[in-house]
Amino acid sequence: MKVLELVEIAIMIALTAVLEIVFSNTQFVLFPNGGSISISTLPIMVLTLRRGFKIGLIAGVVYGTFQFLLPVNVYYLQPVQYLFDYIVPFVAIAFIGVFKELNVKNIILGTSLAGGLKYLSHVIAGIAYWGEYAPEGFDAVTWSLYYNITYVLPSVVLCAFILVSIFKYNKTILEKA
């Protein structure tokens, strides 16, 4: 790995952390059981588009592993649950990079794939570990599907909109480095 790649990974992880802190502490909608509408995944998405899937995976693992050090609400019960709620969702972001050609369609497809995998990981954690906190009238599966979509979907839509805008107005930011 080149020094420039390491520097770019570090910068994008730092930007992800800053965005996570800002969005976690300035929510218009408070999510009582964690999660937030955020564009914090955007720097890792940009990094993955620029440097490729492998670099995106590395950044996702590093950020997800150390997210508990940030001054944000990190809820975890045990290591496997932490894996599904924090590490796997950021690793999933690298899947934006599976489409080789950089165009609007692939940005939307890649963002949707990454967001879908992130959502799936949160849903699994919700069913397995947070189901007992489902409100009356909801089973663990239905509650996890509902609760997680309320913040993951808007976040994915925001990120897709921003990435498409960047592509249309200054695509050199997203081009392979």
Q: Which of 86, 80, 105 has its CA nearest to residue 16?
A: 86
Q: 63-112 pLDDT, tens per residue?
A: 999 887 876 767 777 889 889 998 999 999 999 999 989 999 999 999 99
Provide the residue type at 55 as one letter: I
Q: Which of 20, 130, 26 has its CA nearest to residue 64?
A: 20
Q: Which of 34, 100, 89 has its CA nearest to residue 63?
A: 89
Band (28; pLDDT cuts 50, 70, 90): low
Asked if residue 29 has pLDDT above 70, the reply is no
How far apart, in Å, do the first and last CA atoms of the chain sit? 13
Exposure string of 68-80, with b = 16+ CB inside 10 Å and e = fewer, is eeeebeeebeeee
Q: What pLDDT shows up at residue 103?
A: 96
Mean pLDDT of the chain: 91
Q: Which of 38, 20, 42 has its CA nearest to residue 29?
A: 38
Per-residue pLDDT, averaged over 49-54, amounts to: 96
Q: What is the number of structural domains in the chain? A: 1
Q: Give the domain extent around 90.
A: 3-173
Band (44; pLDDT cuts 50, 70, 90): very high
Q: 50 near 176, Cβ under 8 Å?
A: yes
Distance of alpha carbon 74 from the chain centroid: 14
Q: 44 near 16, Cβ under 8 Å?
A: yes
Which pTM value belongs to this model? 0.92
- CA pair distance 50, 28, nearest whole angstrom: 32
- CA pair distance 123, 131, nearest whole angstrom: 10
Provide the residue type at 46 as one letter: V
Provide the residue type at 68 as one letter: F
Q: What pLDDT shows up at residue 161?
A: 98
Q: Which of 94, 149, 92 has its CA nearest to residue 121?
A: 92
Q: What pLDDT shows up at residue 132?
A: 87
CATH number of residue 86's parent domain: 1.10.1760.20
